[in-house]
Structure formats: structure tokens, C-alpha cells
Structure 1
Amino acid sequence: MSTHISTPDSIKQGSVLERYMPMLIIGGLFFMFGFVTWLNGSLIPFLQITCELNHFEAYFVTLVFYIAYTVMALPAAKVLKSIGYKKGIVGGLVIMTIGALVFIPAAQTKLYSVFLIALFLLGTGLTVLQTAANPYLVVIGPQESAAVRISIMGILNKGAGIIAPIFFTAFVLTDMSQFNETYLASLDAASRLDALQELSSRLILPYFIMAGMLALLAVFIYFSPLPDVNLDGENETNVDDVNNVDKSILQYPHLILGVITLFFYIGVEVIAGDTIGLYGKELGVTNFGQLTSYTMAFMVVAYIIGIIVIPRWISQEKALVVSAVLGLIFSTFIIMGAKDSHWVWDFFFAWTNVPAIPNTVLFVALLGLANALVWPAVWPMALKDLGKQTATGSAVLIMGISGGALLPLVYGAFAEQSGNSQMSYWIMLPCYLFILYYALIGHKKRHW
């Protein structure tokens, strides 16, 4: 594979602070990516109550948020090529600031459509940021340690996913017991409307604070020493580039299958992170707003394990096989487990003194172990041997993020129709089976 990049001289030379400042800035951005993204897991059950939604309607949160990646990925790449990566990062933060501010009129009007507009703006800003920030991971240090930097960013991203639901619970979900369905059903129409409006208004302060922090971060990065980078390599060629320049991107089976793999992976990752709160709420878990943190915590554990064992003891391909098998096992346990049993938590996690959760909810969280290493494993496998098509291949892979928009919605539709959220997790089984196929066979295909 050939990817041409050049490291700015300001990174190669200068003081220790100047060399590590770009890494610190990008690390802060990845933490923020995770904070905004995984807040959705707590937002879904909250909006279901506030806007009086069914399962299917509630998962429009993930639809509009993740569809922004698919719709805006190529436009974002064009914008970045025009204005540069540093200004692109600032622009992405400005778009996210606007999205956070739109939450204020959304909370005041309690209109679900306005919430969805705000979420699409947040997703659009994140698309620009992701497209701009990811290349820096390659150029801000030695090429051979790029995988370590990606894993560190993954830990920061999912670490923020642990903190975000706790933050949301502290600011928004306190005393949620007074808004249970039985209590709300006992109120007359006017009192019910007042109660739901009071609940919705709780979003104003945290999202105002978020908007302020995003705006300050945009100003900081605008005046920071973060340099622009050259990712085009227009004057460089090699044998792979000459052989591949005339080939259509669709003539690379391992890439197209990789896109499908990422579609299924992002789908199951979002299902594991964003449905667990609503599922736990249905089973009577009192701290349902924090359950996304559990999934993220297991993902962080898997990232740390990956840093230690890959490629020292196992290859990326074998890690992907292990991930797919664990996903199949945990998904089966979710479907077949007893809703009122929590012996697994009592046996393994009683020492934490954290309130026990039912086995089936815990297995949803444990999917974090299965999911963490899929993204870093699939990307290099899918982009291998693309030569000058690498940039186009990367943009196509970004399209796979649409799985996070569609599959949770499918899950919500099955849960609403069947009235059984637990059994609806069966949709993850074919997803993990395809990931397993790609790990064993799909990534090796060079001809259709």
C-alpha cells in the first residue's frame, strides 16, 4: 500500500512542547469526539420520555447523527482540500457549536424535529473533524508507531464515552423516578405537559456549556501552532500507483467487502452503546442513563489489550476473528439470557460495589470487548494495495459509518413491532457472521 504524506518541519524540529503539542491537540479532539458521540446513549431514553416516542421513533437519534457521516464525508474532503486541515478543524468545531446551541430552542419547544436538526449539525461537524484529524495521527510521529497512536486515540474516545453518560446523569437525569410512565399517566393533560417541559428544559444548561467549550476550543486551535500537512503526494509515484491508477475503486473486492464490514461493525457498535440505556430502563435498572459507560469501559479494556498483544502475539487478522466470535457469543447470551438474573455480575463484578445489572444488560455492555478492535483491524486490511486509490478508498470506507444510522433503527422497528427488545438483538448475529467472513476470507480477495 502506498500513502504519500509529508511531516511538517515544525513537527520534526523544535522543542519537546512543539513536537508534542499537535498530539495533545488531536488527543483532545478525539476525547471530544467520544463525548459528543456517546452522549446519544443517554439522550435516547431521555428524549423517548420527553417527546413521548416509541422505540422506532427514538432511534431516529442515531439515524440523523450517523447519516451525516455518509452525506457529508465527500463534501468535507473537498472543503478540507480547499481551505486546509487546520481551518477545517476550526470550521468543524464552529458547526458543532451551532448544533449544540440549537438544542436550546429544541428544549424550549420540545419539538423532536428540532432535536434531530441539532443532532445532524453535530454529526456534520464531527464528520469534518474526523476527516481532518485522522490524517494527523499518521504524520505527527514515526510511521511505525502510527498504530499505537490510533489505539491511544481510541482509548481517549471511548474514555469520553464513559464520562459523558455520567455527566448527563448528573446534570439531566437526577430524580428521574418522578417521570415514570405510571406517574405521567396519572396527570391531566396540562400537568403532564408542564412536567415534560420541565424535564426538557434540563438540557438547556449542559448544551449551553458544551457550545461555549466548543467555541473556546475553536478559538484555541485557530491560534495554536498546529501546522497544516500535505497528504496529496502529487509529485510522488511508485509501482503500485502506476498499476492502479486506471482501475475503478469497485475493482477492489477487499475494499468493498471492507466497507460492508464497517457498515455492520458500526451498526453493532452503536446498538451496543446506544440501546443499552433504553433496554436497561425497560428492565428496571435505576441508573439506566449511565449504562453506555459500561459498554465504553469494556471497549477501553479491549483497546489496552490490543496495544499489548497486537502484533506481538497475535495478528490483526486473528484479532478480528476473535472479535467476531466474541460478538456471536455475547449476542447469543443476550437473546437467551434470563431478564431477572444477575448472577454474572454478582460473580465477576460484586467487588466494584456498583449496583448489579441483569445478565442480558451486562452482555450488551460486554459487546464493547468484541467491538473495540474491529475498526483498527479492518482499515489497513481494506486499504492494502490501493496505491493512489488510497484516498478514494478511505472516503468510501467512511461511508460504512452509515451502519450506525440504519441498523439501530432496524433494531428499534423490530422492538416496537414485537414488543420484545431482548429478542430484537438477534439482528446482530448476521452482522458478526459477516465480520467473521471478512476476517477469514474477504480481506484476501483481489478479484471478484
Structure 2
Amino acid sequence: MAASAKGSAPLTLPGYFVPFITVTALFLAFGFVTTLNMALVPHLRSIFNVGYKSAMLAESAFFLAYFVFSAPTSKLIEWIGYKKTMVVSLFIQVVGCLLFIPAARLVNFPLFLTASFVVGAGVTALQTSANPYTAILGPESSASVRLTLAQAFNSIGTTVAPVFAGAFILTDPTKFATPAAIANTVRLPYIAIAGALLLLGIAVAFSHLPHIDQPPSSHPAKEGGARASRSVWSYRHTVLGALGIFLYVGVEVGLASIAVNYFKSQGMSSLKTASDLASLYWFGALVGRLLGSWILTKVQSGKLLTIFGFCASALLLTSMFTSGSVAIWTLVLCGFFNSIMFPNIFTLGIAGLGPMTSKGSGLIMTAIVGGAIIPALLGAAADRFGIQHAFVLPLICYLYIAWYGMWGSKPAKTAFSS
């Protein structure tokens, strides 16, 4: 079971450690790209003078790609394998990054959203292939440890991205004469990112990643048997896990996207300082994942997920009913408790699926569309009621995640049950 990682279980199978390191580098890449897209929210507000709800459409466009492309990516993995899918996904991201150039030149809001959507499509394909590939590079009992460790590299990217955005994109809008001049600040950064992703795609294409069709521990499904004919929707823990990912991604992205504006509303005057502080939200996730990969060798992943869910809920409640530094830092600390949520919900959700792992992964990756819906709802609530009152929505998300860890993640059936 992925529900508990034993200290005696090896991190990877023999000969798979170098491929594991290669794939973790991809986690860093899509973490950086995803979080950089969140920096567009305050930037679009400056360029187009729109409210939170409209600016949050940049996140909605990005994460809508998960709903559209997760299932097709699962099919693509079946056709060309994990490695080639990863390469294709990186090249799609290159195309999306280059689309920001005409979007900035034309100061065109729909084109900004289109670029975000294309980048999101590439990140979707990369996540849908890299997460299950990492999970099956070793024993199922240590899958949550591998994914948590890989997600730590993801957190390096998410920590660096706000600093990068603050230095090169989120400049003081009063220093520019026109919206076109503000929009122009995205061009060079995205050209550089496109070049880096192109080089990374070429490097992965020529790297040695073993071809894996299904988890090593799985048994072949009998022709016409129950395992072969079951729908992935019949696995309760997988479906509830997909809902958990929907809410987790929504709350993490929503809080990160509104953080800069929230910090300013709590007395922070500089946009750059607020962006730098937002990077600490992601740095907390990095620390939590590094620490969590060790804790998971001692504590069941479901139990740890519940503890972290309740702790995040308590911090968010505190931020809702305080102001100034306390309100700011309690929100920042939510990043630490977000840290182990994705890898643990994911591994709990695909536990016991065997040859249906790619289908379960596709379903769970589709649920990342929560990053399109929850932030939009949060933005609409913030426009109408204020940011702190709008935090009721992410609070509900955290409470569900805590419930899933202890109770909702128990498999009612697996691919190996009779």
C-alpha cells in the first residue's frame, strides 16, 4: 500500500535512481512555469485595470488545460510511452511561452489567456506523465516518499518563480507611461524561459529513461475478467482522491495568486516586496516536502495528510480574523502545510490500481482543473466581500483534505481484489 512508507523500503528499484533524478528536474521546471503564471494576476490587473475575478482568468485558462488534456495525455502515454510524452510536453510549453510575445506587443487580454492555456496544456502533459512515472520507479510502499521528494524539487521552482517575477515582470506600474509599456516587461523573460525549456526537452529526448508499461508490482489483468472490465470510476478512493486534488490545487493556487494583493491590503506598500514575500509561501512548501519525505518513513501518509490539513485550516482561520503581520505570516505558513498534500493525495488515490494506474492518474490529473475554478470563485468572492471573508472557500477545501487523509482514502476495492 502507498498509504505507509516503510523505512526499509528502497527509494527506487535497482538501476532506476538516475532516471528518478532526471525526472525530478522536470518537477522543478513545471513548478517554476506554473508559479510564474500566477504572477500574471497582479500584472494583468495593472495592464488592463480589471478586478480580481477577471485577473484570475489567467489561472483559469492555465488550469482549464488540465480538464481538456489530462485524459488525452493518458492515451498518448499508452501510444508513445512516458519519456516521449514528457518531451512533447516540454515543446508545447515552448510554444505557449512564445505566444506571450505577440500578446504583450498587441496588449491583448484574450491572447494572454490563450498563451496561458497553451503553457498549461504542456504542463498538464508533463504532470500526467511525470507523476505516475515517478510513483512506479520503485516499490509502491515508498511511492509517497519518492513523489514527496520529487515535489521538493518542484518547490525549488515555485520558490524561485515569484522572485524572478518580482525582478523582471512585476515592476512598479507608475514607472511606465502606458499599459503597452507594462505589458512589454513579459517579453524577454518568456523568451528566456522558452529557450530553457527547449534545451531541457532536447536533453530529455537524448537521456536514458527506462520504458515502463505499468507498475512493477501489478499483475496482468485477465482477458474479460473483472480487472480488465472495471471502470476507474468504480474505485471510491480514486474518485475521492480526484476531488481532493481538485480542492488542493484550487486552494494552493488561489491563495498564491491573491497573496501579493492580500499582503498589500495588510499594509505592505511595495509590489516587489510583496512578491518576494510570496516566494516564502513556496519556500515553506520546499521545506515541508524535504522534511515530509523523512516523516513519511515514520508516519502513515493518510494520517500526516490529516494533520497538515487541520493545521492549514487553523492558520487560515487566524489570518481571517487578524490583520497586519499576523495575517500575512499565517497565510505564508500555509505553504508549509500545503507541502505534502499533492503527492500524498495522488499516491493514496492510485494505490492498488495496478494496470489501471495510468487511467487513475489521468482522472486525478483532470481534477487539477480545480486550479481554474477555485481561484475564479475566490476572486469573485474577494471582489464582493473582501479577501479575508473570501477565505471561507479555501478553509472548506482544507477541511475536506483533512477528512480524505484519515477516512476518504481507504480503498473499497483494488485492481487485485476478487
Smaller-chain TM-score bracket: 0.7 to 0.9
Tell me, yes or no, if the aligned pair for 1:279 and 1:421 is still in contact at 8 Å.
yes
Within the candidate set 226, 248, 255, 1:272 is matched to 255
Tell me, yes or no, if the aligned pair for 2:28 and 2:154 is still in contact at 8 Å.
yes
Q: How does 1:139-288 map to 2 (within 5 A)?
A: 139-140=136-137, 145-174=142-171, 176=172, 178=174, 194-231=177-214, 236-237=219-220, 243-285=226-268, 286=270, 287-288=273-274
Q: In the aligned structure 2, how far is the partner of 1:427 from the partner of 1:444?
A: 25
Q: Structure 1 residues 21, 427: CA separation in 2 closer, same or farther (over 3 Å shift)?
A: same
* CA displacement, residues 102-161 of structure 1 (integer Å, 9 cap, x when unaligned): 000111111111111111111101111122222332454566544333222111101111
Larger Rg: 1
Letter matched to residue 220 of structure 1: A
Give unmatched runs, 5+ long, in structure 1.
3-10, 14-18, 180-191, 343-358
**Aligned CA-pair RMSD:** 2.6
Per-residue deviation at 1:246?
Answer: 3.4
> Equivalent residue for 2:7?
none
> Equivalent residue for 1:189?
none
Within the candidate set 315, 319, 324, 1:334 is matched to 319
Tell me, yes or no, if the aligned pair for 2:242 and 2:364 is still in contact at 8 Å.
yes
1:376 aligns with 2:362: no
Q: Structure 1 residues 294, 54: CA separation in 2 closer, same or farther (over 3 Å shift)?
A: same
Percent of aligned pairs with the same amino acid: 31
> Equivalent residue for 1:345?
none
Moved over 4 A (4+): 139-145, 232-236
> Equivalent residue for 2:288?
302
1:323 aligns with 2:299: no
Within the candidate set 279, 292, 295, 1:293 is matched to 279
Q: In the aligned structure 1, how far is the partner of 2:41 from the partner of 2:407?
A: 37
Q: Structure 1 residues 370, 35: CA separation in 2 closer, same or farther (over 3 Å shift)?
A: same
Letter matched to residue 337 of structure 1: T
Q: Structure 1 residues 232, 252: CA separation in 2 closer, same or farther (over 3 Å shift)?
A: closer
Q: In the aligned structure 2, how far is the partner of 1:91 from the partner of 1:170?
A: 30
Per-residue deviation at 1:247?
Answer: 3.3
Per-residue deviation at 1:306?
Answer: 1.2
Tell me, yes or no, if the aligned pair for 2:238 and 2:360 is still in contact at 8 Å.
yes
Q: In the aligned structure 1, how far is the partner of 2:138 from the partner of 2:351?
A: 21
- Number of residue pairs matched by the alignment: 399
Q: In the aligned structure 2, how far is the partner of 1:52 from the partner of 1:12?
A: 55
* CA displacement, residues 189-227 of structure 1 (integer Å, 9 cap, x when unaligned): xxx8x4221111111111111111111222222233334
Per-residue deviation at 1:91?
Answer: 1.2
Letter matched to residue 254 of structure 1: H
Within the candidate set 360, 385, 389, 1:423 is matched to 389
Q: How does 1:392-407 map to 2 (within 5 A)?
A: 392-407=359-374
Q: TM-score, normalised by structure 1?
A: 0.82
* CA displacement, residues 339-393 of structure 1 (integer Å, 9 cap, x when unaligned): xx32xxxxxxxxxxxxxxxx21222211112211222222232233434433322
> Equivalent residue for 2:412?
446
My pick for the range that moved more, 112-121 or 222-231, is: 222-231
What secondary structure sits across from 2:229 in the alignment?
coil
Q: Structure 1 residues 87, 403: CA separation in 2 closer, same or farther (over 3 Å shift)?
A: same
Q: Structure 1 residues 253, 214: CA separation in 2 closer, same or farther (over 3 Å shift)?
A: same
Tell me, yes or no, if the aligned pair for 1:51 and 1:111 is still in contact at 8 Å.
no
Give unmatched runs, 5+ long, in structure 2.
3-12, 414-418
Per-residue deviation at 1:238?
Answer: 6.7
What secondary structure sits across from 1:135 in the alignment?
helix
Per-residue deviation at 1:177?
Answer: 6.3
Q: TM-score, normalised by structure 2?
A: 0.88
Per-residue deviation at 1:230?
Answer: 2.5
